[in-house]
Amino acid sequence: MSLTSLSIAELQAQFRSGAASPVEAIDALEARIAALDGRIHGYLSRDFATARALAEKADISLPLGGVPIAIKDVINVKGEPCTAASKILLGYTSTYDATVISKLRAAGAIPFGRCNLDEFAMGSSTENSAFGRTMNPWDFSRVPGGSSGGSAAVVAADEAFAALGSDTGGSIRQPAALCGCVGLKPTYGRVSRFGLIAFASSLDQIGPFTKTVRDAGLLTNVIAGRDTMDSTSLDVPVEDATALLGQDLKGVKLGMPREYFISGIDPQVDAAVRAACKHYESLGAEIVEVSLPHTEHAVSVYYVIATAEASANLARFDGVRYGHRAQTENLLEMYARSRAEGFGPEVKRRIILGTYVLSSGYYDAYYLRAQKVRTLIRQDFTKAFEQVDAIICPTSPEPAFKAGDRSDDPMKMYLADIFTIACNLAGTCGVSLPCGFATTDGVRLPIGVQLIGQPWKEARLLQIAHAYEQSTGWHKERPAL
Ligand code: GLN
């Protein structure tokens, strides 16, 4: 078994026994990436010289000592490029570490490479990257999901032990499902976003992509916690997210929301998720039906709120402070042309839509109303959580789709997140984990089951996920590369 196929926990065991060293882990990754990434294109940049220097003096007694971690290219790592997969940030070098990066470093981890994504995290397929799409490791003609498609693909292809991504409407969970790995979106406020290039600030959250549920807990333990540099990170005690792993599921109640098991879902996805529910019953959990009645409005509400916030957040890319600047003598023309040349079509579409819903005369009809419906969606979850410990549903309505299938139909692309968006609007935590395979055109494609947990109950959520993972073993399947 090659080193790169190991989980974080397994790699750490090798370090401790002396069977492998952090430098060997970096060497193995470098070789694997050199052999594969030309075909997968999960990375936009990587820096093995710095990584090796850190590995040489790694302290393996630290919580993530010597463990290399790949980073979505929307999180600042001092001295490295950070492009958000946009031409507008080409040539920009980060001047500071995001809080999650400082925390990783303090725990001994080694950030070593930057993963591809949809430009400014806007998309569900990684086809909106200005630097070319990422291939799904299970079938190169298909997308890895998005927006964190690079992070998901490199973990699934054993080109990384684990990666960080960001999730605004599903960008961790949906690509994790389509690539066959574990993806956790922590509760809003659990992880500091200081140093994350903001997309929609009331929704964005950073979280891990891993090969196992335990690893997702290990990474969450390191990156979680109140940060004075991000006023939305809350001062809630950081519980050990791995504390409940291995406990049985007696007395655990899971809710199947009737609005999430609808016609239109791929029949193989529907069957796999229903089978997962049956499996949970065999593990001692009780499955009940719940209702999240405002589900049908989630996608519309999201595309009003997320675009409104994006239009404000992206105003800072004006050719003055960062990246691309159009060559002209006239100041106003410089702003306009820098943005026109630097942003891709999906980003422009969202800035225009967001500016529209915030403009006077339309604000009340769109933005304010969306905020009210958001409250109703949040209350749906609060009510459901009075009955159940977690909600169980598909992560994505279908397995990985073909590249090019959706790219000229934004509405079709937006529906890829139909099952993940409400969790962000409600601000709670959710995880996707492998639950089987679909066979499409003779290719095996992973399917993900999503568990949505109560706010701040990541430990409970991972306990529930882990029990399934360990008793099924889907997570051990790897693409033949
Ligand atoms: N696919 C959704 C969008 O395009 C979600 C993206 C995300 O979570 N960053 O906005």
- By annotation, the residues acting in catalysis are 72, 147, 171
Q: What is the mean pLDDT of residues 88-104?
A: 96
- Give the pTM: 0.98
Give the dihedral of Cα atoms 393, 395, 399, 405; nearest 10 deg.
Answer: 130
Distance CA 147, CA 166 (A): 8
**CA 401–ligand 1 middle distance (angstroms):** 16
C-alpha to C-alpha distance for 450 and 464, rounded to whole angstroms: 11
Query: Residue 1 — pLDDT band, cuts 50, 70, 90?
Result: low
Mutation test residue for ligand 1: of 73, 124, 347, the one with most atoms within 8 Å of CB? 124
Give every CB contact of residue 131 below 8 A, 6+ residues apart in sequence.
Answer: 44, 83, 85, 116
* Cα(153) to centroid(ligand 1), Å: 17
Least confident of 222-236, 251-265, 402-416: 402-416
Check if 186 has its Cβ closer than 6 Å to any atom of ligand 1.
Answer: no
Percentage of the chain beyond pLDDT 70 is 100
**Three-state secondary structure readout of the chain:** CCHHHCCHHHHHHHHHHCCCCHHHHHHHHHHHHHHHHHHHCCEEEECHHHHHHHHHCCCCCCCCCCCEEEEECCECCCCCECCCCCHHHCCCECCCCCHHHHHHHHCCCEEEEEECCCHHHCCCCCCCCCCCCCCECCECCECCCCCCHHHHHHHHCCCCCEEEEEECCCCCHHHHHHHCCEEEECCCCCECCCCECCCCCCCCEEEEEECCHHHHHHHHHHHECCECCECCCCCCCCCCCCCCCCCCCCCCEEEEEHHHCCECECHHHHHHHHHHHHHHHHCCCEEEEECCCCHHHHHHHHHHHHHHHHHHHHHHCCCCCCCCCCCCCCHHHHHHHHHHHHCCHHHHHHHHHHHHHHCCCCHHHHHHHHHHHHHHHHHHHHHHHHHCCEEEEECCCCCCCECCCCCCCHHHHHHHHCCCHHHHHHCCEEEEEEEEEEEECCEEEEEEEEEEECCCCHHHHHHHHHHHHHHHCHHHCCCCC
* Structure token digits, residue 29: 């990754």
User: What tokens appear for 155 in the block?
Assistant: 């973990």
Q: Is the CB of 148 under 6 A from ligand 1?
A: no
323 — pLDDT class (breaks 50, 70, 90): confident
State how far Cα 170 lies from the chain centre: 7
The sign of the dihedral angle between the CA atoms of 54, 57, 61, 62 is negative
Determine which residue's CA is closest to atom 4 belonging to ligand 1. Answer: 123
**Predicted confidence (pLDDT) per residue in 247-305, tens digit:** 999 999 999 999 999 888 999 999 999 999 999 999 999 999 999 999 999 999 999 99
Query: Does residue 142 surpass a pLDDT of 90?
Result: yes
Asked whether 306 lines ligand 1 (CB < 6 A), one says yes
Of the candidate ranges 34-43, 231-240, 247-256, the one whose mean pLDDT is the lowest: 231-240
Mean pLDDT across the chain: 97
Using CA atoms, how far apart are residues 42 and 49, in angstroms rounded to an integer?
Answer: 19
119 lines ligand 1 (CB under 6 A): no
For a mutational test of ligand 1's pocket, the pick from 151, 168, 421, i.e. the residue with the most ligand atoms closer than 8 A to its C-beta, is: 168
Whole-number Å distance, alpha carbon 337 to ligand 1 midpoint, is: 26
CA distance 249 to 251: 6
Residue 416 confidence (pLDDT) above 90: no
Q: What is the pLDDT of residues 178-189, one digit of tens each?
A: 999 999 999 999
CB of 117 within 6 A of ligand 1: the answer is no
**Phi, psi of 97, rounded to the nearest 5 degrees:** -90, 135
> Which one has a higher pLDDT value, 394 or 408?
394
Q: Which of 74, 117, 122 to mutate to test the pocket of ligand 1 (most atoms within 8 A of CB)?
A: 122
Q: How many CB atoms lie within 10 A of CB 232?
A: 14
- Spell out the residues 6+ positions from residue 472 whose beta carbon is closer than 8 angstroms to its own: 279, 435
Give Cα 11 to chain centroid, integer Å: 23
Q: Is 126 in the pocket of ligand 1 (CB under 6 A)?
A: no
Q: At what angle do helices 8-17 and 213-223 cross, to 10 degrees?
A: 80
Q: Which two tokens stand for residue 389?
A: 């410990």
Query: In this predicted structure, what is the pLDDT of residue 415?
Result: 85
Q: What are the φ and ψ backbone dihedral angles of 162, each rounded to 5 degrees?
A: -165, 165
Nearest to 75 by CA among 172, 178, 217: 172
Residues whose CB falls within 8 Å of the CB of residue 468, separated by 6 or more in sequence, listed in order: 276, 279, 280, 283, 433, 435, 449
Check residue 412 and give its pLDDT.
81
**Ligand 1 centroid to 3 CA: how many Å?**
33
User: Ligand 1 mean position to 84 CA, how many Å?
Assistant: 13
- Looking at the CA of residue 170, tell me the nearest atom of ligand 1: 8
- pLDDT, tens digit, for every residue of 52-69? 999 999 999 999 999 999
Q: Is 449 in the pocket of ligand 1 (CB under 6 A)?
A: no
The tokens for 275 are: 């089978």
Q: Could you give the C-alpha distances from 234 to 425, 430, 442, in angstroms and in order? A: 17, 18, 47
Pocket-testing residue among 147, 178, 193, ligand 1, by greatest number of atoms within 8 A of Cβ: 147
Of 45, 169, 88, residue with least CA distance to 347: 88
pLDDT value at 213 more than 80:
yes
Regarding beta strands 68-72 and 110-115, do their DSSP bridges make them parallel or antiparallel, or are they unpaired? parallel
Cβ atoms < 10 Å from Cβ of 63 = 16
CA 146 to ligand 1: nearest atom: 1
**Does ligand 1 have an atom closer than 6 angstroms to the CB of 307?**
no
Residue 166 Cα to ligand 1 midpoint, Å, equals 9
Tokens of 314: 């992206």
Rounded to whole angstroms, the Cα distance separating 196 from 41 reads 22
Is residue 319 within 6 Å of ligand 1 at its C-beta?
no
Q: Is 102 in the pocket of ligand 1 (CB under 6 A)?
A: no
What's the CA-to-centroid distance between 122 and ligand 1, angstroms? Answer: 5
Query: CA-to-CA distance for 269 and 260, rounded, in angstroms?
Result: 12
Task: Check pocket membership of 165 for ligand 1, CB cut-off 6 A.
Answer: no
Cα(395) to centroid of ligand 1, in Å?
Answer: 14
